[in-house]
Amino acid sequence: MIYLIIVVLFVNLLFKNTILILYNMDEKNLKQIETFLYTYENTLKNIFITAEKEHGKGILIVDINSKNQDKCDTNYIPIDKMSAFWEQSKDITQVKNNIELNTEKIVFLCVINNETSIILNRPYT
């Protein structure tokens, strides 16, 4: 139990206290996600903002290992679209509710690296 608390605290510090959900934590995968976000966070924010303007509130899915023409594949899923993504679990339903109720300038991301998935949010200006 103490180990789990320490790990959660470490992960929260690592990702600026913005974690909503973390699945299949693997330290190596998390480090790769951290490096990826450090490099591409602003680009992902711009992709999210554009998609949100076109499709309404939602989440940007990013698989850092899925490349298409040397670019990382992204998929924006609006909350009002009937999608299997929103029906996975109570955790995902809570994320959907957080997105729906959000009134601030927040980017919602689901970053996937192998078997590790992390859903987080980041403010933007």
Total domain count, the chain: 1
For residues 36 and 113, what is the distance between their CA atoms, to the nearest angstrom? 10
Kindly provide the b/e burial profile for residues 42-73, where b requires at least 16 CB atoms within 10 angstroms of the residue's own CB. eebbebbeebbeeeeebbbbbbbeeeeeeebe
Range of the domain at 109: 2-123
* Segment 15-43, tens digit of pLDDT: 444 555 566 667 788 888 889 999 999 99
* Segment 40-70, tens digit of pLDDT: 999 999 999 999 999 999 999 999 888 776 6
Residue 72 vs residue 122, higher pLDDT? 122
For residues 56 and 31, what is the distance between their CA atoms, to the nearest angstrom? 31
